[in-house]
Amino acid sequence: MSPSEVRPNSAPSSSIALSVNGRERALEVDNRASLLDTLRERLDLTGTKKGCDHGQCGACTVLVAGRRVNSCLTLAVAVEGDEIVTVEGLSDGDRLHPVQQAFLERDGFQCGYCTPGQICSTVGLLAEAKKGWPSHATADVSHVCGPEGVTLDENEVRERLSGNLCRCGAYANMVPAVLDAQAAERR
Ligand code: FES
Ligand code: FES
């Protein structure tokens, strides 16, 4: 096919500036592009994983304005102006984020494919617990919140991480990792 026969891409697009891991990234995106595909295919941030691409597995979890979201269900054009943090943006230079450190120390993974999503989700859930947000596993919402927010236990962690699936079944080590991370956050 000669260049003159190539049909122009008529999909509507937008020029946007995304703030990702503290860096402004200007780009032209198809208005239908997911944040997940934009991170991976356009910005080379491949730490965020695609599992189901349908909001079912949590592998694509990132933080947008401090809250965890499934990036496969989020349009890139919808998050312009928000601070986006991916797993690549959590560490401080060579120093791992406390959640990353806890997962490492507790061996909270096997193949590691779900791990970036599990870690970003844990950062988000710790922030939610700190704000005193209850979960479905919270028995008594009137007494759950101390001055430091919700103190997590195993049931709370399992519930709050239930949107992040692990095909390897590494949950047994993830749960103590999350509890360790909350303890470290409070020290
Ligand atoms: S890839 Fe987004 S939830 Fe599975
Ligand atoms: S560690 Fe393999 S999918 Fe979770």
Residue-range domains of the chain with CATH: 3-89 (3.10.20.30), 98-186 (1.10.150.120)
Structure tokens at 164: 């992040």
52 close to ligand 1 (CB < 6 Angstrom): yes
Can you give the pTM of this predicted structure?
0.93
Q: What is the pLDDT of residue 51?
A: 98
Residue nearest to atom 4 of ligand 2 (CA): 166
66 close to ligand 2 (CB < 6 Angstrom): no
Distance 87 CA to ligand 2 centre (A): 15
Q: Across the 187 residues of the chain, what is the mean pLDDT of every consecutive 10-residue run?
A: 54 96 97 98 98 98 98 98 98 97 98 98 97 90 75 97 98 98 95
CA distances from 179 to 29, 113, 154 (A): 39, 21, 8
Q: What is the pLDDT of residue 180?
A: 98
Distance 20 CA to ligand 2 centre (A): 25
Q: What is the pLDDT of residue 9?
A: 61
Q: What is the pLDDT of residue 141?
A: 75
Q: Are 32 and 73 in contact (CB under 8 A)?
A: no
Atom nearest to 163 CA in ligand 1: 3
